[in-house]
Structure 1
Amino acid sequence: MNHSIHSADRSTHLKIVVVALVAGIAVAGFGIAARTGTSDGTQTARIIKAGQPTALTSSNTTAVR
Structure 2
Amino acid sequence: MNHSIYSADRTTHLKIVVVALVAGIAVAGFGISARSTDDGYTQTARVMKAGKAVTMTSSDTAVVR
- Structure number with higher relative contact order (C-alpha < 8 Å, ≥ 6 residues apart): 2
Instruction: Give the TM-score taking structure 1 as reference length.
Output: 0.59
CA RMSD of aligned residues (A): 1.9
Q: Which runs of 4+ in 1 moved over 2 A?
A: none
Percent identical pairs in the alignment equals: 80
Matched, 1:31 2:31: yes
Greater strand content: 2
Larger Rg: 2
Following superposition, the deviation at residue 30 of structure 1 comes to 0.2
Within 2, Cα distance between the matches of 1:45 and 1:17?
Answer: 40
Deviations 1:7-42 (A, max 9, x none): 00000000000000000000000000000113xxxx
**Where in structure 2 are there 5+ consecutive unaligned residues?**
45-65
